[in-house]
A and B are shown apart, each in its own frame.
Chain A
Amino acid sequence: MTDKVIECKNLTHYYGKRKIYEDLSFDVPKGRILGLLGKNGTGKTTTINILMGYLKPRAGQCEIFGEDIQHISPATRARIALLLEGHIQYAFMTIEKIEKYYSAFYPKWNRDAYYELMNKLKVAPHQKIANMSCGQRSQVALGLILAQNADLLVLDDFSLGLDPGYRRLFIEYLHEYAKAETKTIFLTSHIIQDMERLVDDCIIMDYGRILVQQPVAQLMSTFRRYTYRVEGEQPALSSDKIYHPSVIRDCAELYSFENRGYVERLLQEAGIGYSDLREETMNLEDIFIGLTGKY
């Protein structure tokens, strides 16, 4: 029990009549990094809002550090660093002032961690955050998060709007930080690139449902892409164990957790004349596309 930092049971939420998801349950054990991945509008930010107590779910319970998320005590909030979507910060403050402000609230405040990161930015300490580039703002937000020395980091779509360099920087910093200090991270993202460097477990969401919920390593070793050649019109495939079969001219592809034998049997049963069947593992981004489709 004690090593579960986040514990959610049967979360269900609707906006009006539109279902976001039903019966979502997940745990985040101490020291793990969970990524909630999904396209835009699948309910990632909704989940963060629910977790941080900014949205009352239609049903279900969640606990963070053993406290009901609707009533997290200030002491527990001090252990949770929150990054809002778009690296929102108090844009009317300067680098110096925002550090001064935040440091007053956090007992374990690590001023050096913040300024170490700030020194890499080519901005003056008196510069207003509102006047910075998106990448620079993300570094300020990251610096503030790292300096909080929190036990749990909750990051909402941190890679949004970042240049590849800043994204990589952000990920490396986080990874090093999390592993060195056994921090727990709950993050969401709709950009999957580079994410396998960071995330231990993932939940992949689609509109109104959860597609996959498992460790990334397991996902990457079991989820396959099958490609094969076909000639002429072929009957459609239907099985709940394959994802997004498609044919472009004479090249066909499909995705599945099942092994080669299963796929061959499936193709034969469907009466599809195929040749040159290939099986391959993929990186996380391709897996994501395989699961969620290209559209």
Chain B
Amino acid sequence: MNKAIFFKEWIKTRWYLLAALVVFVSYTLYLVLRVGNAIEFKGAAHLWAVLLTRDAVFIEPVQYLPMVFGLLLGVVQFVPEVVQKRLKLTLHLPYPQPGMVLMMMLYGLGALTVLSLAQLVAFWGFLQHYMAAELTAHILLTALPWYAAGYAAYLLTYAVCVEPSWRMRSLLILMGIGLLRVHFLLDVPQSYNSFIGSLFVFDLAALLLVLRSMVRFKEGCQD
């Protein structure tokens, strides 16, 4: 049954995932080439100096990518479920209802994790070749809140989709904008180090909003 659940999510998302893969790979290649070019023309030492003396980490262009990916993944996965209330079919299947909601979520979180991790590993693999571990960590730690925003965006989109009432949906959208903003407050490298753990837990806990909206969907809440 779990395989079938993933099968359906795959049918919904495969073209989107393919497109996202292309975008992620292009972004990664672009940034790797950009850094590679800088090393070629100005030398690795110059990059070290920039990292050590300025608030720059070279991979800033990637910062909104996971968030946009998570948001669109939520749309691609759950808009087909709520259009014409198909979720009623899904929740009617002989499978525990919260389990069904969580399995669909697991698929999305899995896709997010695979792409995010792959990109981070690619950056790491490239950078560690030219830079000391401290600098690689400096860059990747700075990027962590951007990837956490991907999870928040995905779960909040899920909750917004499943939520049956427009009033609550609008509030969830406003809340989502606020929560996502928290991931992009400061352009100072490593500024989230002490907070990223709890922020990530808080992002993942947004799944409670999804389950709540699922229950509200079941009760047929109208406002």
Does a CB–CB distance below 8 Å link A and B in the complex? yes
Binding site for B on A (CB under 8 A): 15-16, 49, 52-56, 74-75, 77-78, 80, 82, 84, 86, 88-93, 97, 100-101, 104-106
Indicate whether A90 sits within 8 Å of B92 (C-beta atoms), given known contacts A54-B218, A56-B220, A101-B7.
no
Closest beta carbon of chain A to B93's beta carbon, Å: 5
Complex partner residue of A90 from B3, B80, B217, B219, CB under 8 angstroms: B80
Q: Which residues of A contact B91 (CB under 8 A)?
A: 54
Are B85 and A104 within 8 A (Cβ)? Answer: no
Closest beta carbon of chain A to B66's beta carbon, Å: 25
Closest beta carbon of chain B to A148's beta carbon, Å: 9
Are A92 and B80 within 8 A (Cβ)? Answer: yes
B89 at the interface (CB under 8 A from A): yes
B1 at the interface (CB under 8 A from A): yes
Binding site for A on B (CB under 8 A): 1, 3-4, 7-8, 11-12, 80, 84-86, 88-89, 91-96, 217-220, 222
Complex partner residue of B11 from A53, A86, A92, CB under 8 angstroms: A92
A sample of 11 cross-chain residue pairs with beta-carbon separation below 8 angstroms, ordered by A number, consists of: A55-B219, A74-B94, A78-B94, A80-B92, A84-B84, A88-B85, A88-B86, A88-B88, A90-B89, A92-B80, A100-B4
Closest beta carbon of chain A to B4's beta carbon, Å: 3
- For the complex, give the distance between the alpha carbons of A86 and B83 in Å: 13
- For the complex, give the distance between the alpha carbons of A6 and B16 in Å: 43
Are B218 and A53 within 8 A (Cβ)? Answer: yes
Complex partner residue of B85 from A15, A84, A101, CB under 8 angstroms: A84
Are A52 and B92 within 8 A (Cβ)? Answer: yes
Q: Which residues of A contact B85 (CB under 8 A)?
A: 84, 88
- For the complex, give the distance between the alpha carbons of A52 and B97 in Å: 13
Indicate whether A106 sits within 8 Å of B94 (C-beta atoms), given known contacts A56-B219, A56-B220, A101-B8.
yes
Are A90 and B95 within 8 A (Cβ)? Answer: no
